[in-house]
Structure 1
Amino acid sequence: MDKETKQIVLSDKDVIKTIKKAIKGANKQPGIVDVADPQYKINIGDEIYFLWLTRSDGTVGTIMNAKDTHTIYTLSEHSTKKLKDILLENN
């Protein structure tokens, strides 16, 4: 993981619930994955996720489970905005 990747510790149960909901609602993307180092690393229990919140149009985030680095998932615009807000508040 690159030195640009940010790690933020979040303990608020509502925040964690929002993050889990965003992950659960993400859509699997077809094709081969070739991505830059993630902006964020999220640890939830035994699961680790890599998160990218910037894209050319700025509306859709991308997430990847560290156990399956061949698959990415896109977040909805709503979930992307929520995660951006959470991470900016805690940065």
Structure 2
Amino acid sequence: MKIVSKKLRDSARDQDCTLRLDGCRFSPEFTVLCHLPVGMKGVGLKSPDLFAVFGCDHCHAVIDGRAQGHYTEADLLRALAETQMIWVRMGLLKIQGVAA
């Protein structure tokens, strides 16, 4: 299923990097929405916006393979959990029966 959300993509603006890999710039001015490599990517394809995190340009380049660096699945899972909790607080991700 293709999930594309301008609101989720725009939500990365002014956020800190949730990936925080070695070499992270950890500055909101460099943060964008980074789609995670969860098996739904390919040439010209991105994973659904739901499977994305806030990442600085360095961390984004590492998970996309454009820069040298190391990450673990635990790094991706932590960043995803942090990002999704921010979306809940922002009202962008709603869970039926749970108040933000």
TM-score by length of 1: 0.36
TM-score w.r.t. the length of structure 2 is 0.34
Judging by fraction of residues, say which structure has more helix.
2
Larger Rg: 2
